[in-house]
């Protein structure tokens, strides 16, 4: 949940019904109150196993920081994490669900764990076709995904700024590509581009409202398709069921804790 401290603590839940617009980022809106660029912090929560948190901010947009989820991971670590007694509830996908738009594709398939396979294809010599698969277990998110930065093309930046977008974008918070090169090397990974797409997807699927048990496959999808899949899944209630895995100790739900008052969760 997001809380606007500049608007008397108005709260906007991080759920599908509050999705406002999706273009270069995913935004939420409730009763005219906007929360923009939510995907990186939500991705960090999922990657860190956080189910219960309230994010307070005093403006409409989450900070981009370095363009990845790593700063949010570090902030979560600083805040502290506490296991809760209530077992975590999962949304288990029971049958395949697919969306297609031209050559773009995203699908959910039954599985006993959460994994993501993503493919991108950009006509740029530094990107081209990249694919990667990730299982959200055993710290793989932190080791492989959290520090992958968002990216953009220099020749598109001015048009987007004229539209009121990416006003805070800079070489410090994004990988900036020219038509045939890179403005601010080096890359953190040879395939940092597809890793960041996985980061975004995990954050967008957090809008389901609970962790999923499914294999997610995406090919040249983006925020709009990610969130469309969330909406489609939640409408098709025959395609999933809620389950708890109380017998798996490591899957206990967690919450943020105030380090100065460890017995009191951050609310």
Active site residues: 223
What DSSP designation does 71 have? H
Query: Whole-angstrom Cα distance, residue 231 to residue 209?
Result: 11
> Taking phi first (over 0 means left), then psi (-120 to 50 degrees means alpha), and beta for anything else, what does residue 155 get?
alpha
Give CA–CA dist 254/4, Å, rounded.
Answer: 23
Report H helices in the chain.
39-48, 70-79, 140-144, 154-162, 192-205, 223-235
Q: Give the residue from 41, 85, 64 showing the smallest Cα distance to 167.
A: 64
Sheet harboring 26-30: ordered strands across? 19-22, 26-30, 33-35
Instruction: For residue 230, give Cα distances in angstroms to 20, 43, 168, 211.
Output: 14, 15, 28, 12
Nearest to 91 by CA among 181, 216, 197: 216
Task: Give the C-alpha distances (Å, rounded to integers) separating 59 from 6, 7, 8, 99, 134.
Answer: 7, 9, 12, 34, 33
């Amino acid at each position: 949940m997001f809380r606007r401290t500049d608007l008397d603590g108005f709260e906007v839940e991080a759920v599908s019904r509050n999705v406002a617009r999706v273009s270069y980022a995913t935004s939420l809106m409730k009763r005219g109150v906007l929360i923009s660029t939510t995907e990186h912090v939500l991705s960090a929560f999922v990657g860190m196993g956080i189910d219960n948190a309230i994010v307070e901010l005093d403006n409409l947009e989450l900070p981009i920081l370095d363009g990845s989820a790593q700063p949010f991971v570090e902030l979560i670590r600083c805040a502290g994490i506490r296991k809760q007694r209530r077992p975590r509830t999962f949304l288990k996908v029971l049958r395949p669900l697919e969306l297609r738009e031209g050559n773009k594709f995203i699908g959910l398939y039954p599985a006993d764990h959460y994994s993501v396979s993503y493919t991108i294809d950009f006509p740029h010599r530094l990107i081209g076709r990249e694919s990667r698969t990730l299982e959200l277990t055993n710290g793989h998110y932190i080791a492989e995904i959290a520090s992958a930065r968002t990216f953009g093309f220099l020749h598109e930046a001015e048009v987007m700024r004229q539209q009121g977008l990416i006003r805070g974008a800079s070489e410090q918070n994004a990988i900036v590509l020219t038509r045939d090169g890179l403005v601010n090397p080096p890359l953190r990974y040879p395939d940092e581009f597809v890793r960041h797409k996985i980061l975004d997807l995990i954050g967008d699927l957090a809008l389901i409202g609970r962790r999923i048990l499914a294999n997610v496959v995406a090919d040249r999808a983006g925020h709009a398709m990610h969130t469309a899949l969330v909406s489609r899944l939640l409408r098709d209630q025959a395609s999933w069921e809620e389950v708890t895995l109380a017998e798996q100790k490591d899957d206990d739900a967690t919450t943020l804790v105030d380090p100065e008052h460890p017995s009191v969760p951050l609310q």
